[in-house]
Amino acid sequence: MTSTTQSNRPAADHTRVALVTGASGGIGRAVAVRLGAAGMSVGVHYAGNKERALETAREVEAAGGQASLVTGDVADEAAAADMFDALEEAYGGIDVVINTAGIMLLAPLAELDLDDFDRLYRTNVRGTFVVSKQAARRIRSGGAIVNFSSTVTKLALPTYTAYAATKGAVDAMTLILAKELRGRDITVNAVAPGPTATALFLDGKPAAAIEGLRNMSPLQRLGQPEDIAETVAHLAGPARWINGQVLYVNGGVA
């Protein structure tokens, strides 16, 4: 783990500690920065791009939080355990886990390469499962787990079959884990963004397709990462009576 600060504040000062997977860019970065603005110490996870993760960490600190870098394959149980170990050593415990790490590969079902399907499943489903397994065992009372689903699970857009299937699995995990943590005072929810202006979403889409997606919302715009981060921050902090839910954060797309 690499820290951009010299201070390792203990849990006794009541600072909430969050792990954000996939925090080096897009929605993950916006979430990490928003949690920093809420005064949290944030574990900024990255898989391959350390420079982008360092940029995120600097933004977290500029917003008012503390930031430490953690790295590893979210789908690898030992790597996930190491991330939790590092943050517990640095800050004394973990209160919030946000599973933003994910990939999107699009093709009609009949044409999708099964290797691509396996890649989607490993990151989006197994990765969420493995990190949530550590969270369920180690997160402190009063904590929160926030998973990432997608509005495409109900929009049923062509070419999104495999991606939507992975997010449907995340929905099921979320609802069941919330019940399995009965008595622990830990909430488990998922946010399901609609069309959001990130590199992951915009990559490879022609301008006409993007314009069509923009007009799906009555607000006639794409979501911004900060729109999603605001909802995540609510679930990660004050929203103690929202539990076992999938929240569609999509500007009214139906």
Rounded Cα distance, 41 and 28, in Å: 15
Q: Choose among 42, 38, 82, 39: nearest CA to 58.
A: 42
Look up residue 41 and give its two tokens. Answer: 């110490």
Look up 163 and say whether it is catalytic. yes
Q: Per the residue annotation, which of 46, 91, 160, 163 is the catalytic one?
A: 163
Radius of gyration of the chain (CA): 17
Task: Determine whether 14 is exposed, middle or buried from the number of CB atoms within 10 Å of its CB (0-12, 13-18, 19+).
Answer: exposed
Strands 41-46 and 66-71: parallel
40 and 16 Cβ atoms separated by less than 8 Å:
yes
CA atoms within 13 A of residue 226's CA, in its CB half-sphere: 1
103: region left, alpha or beta (phi > 0 left; psi from -120 to 50 alpha)? beta
Catalytic residue IDs: 163
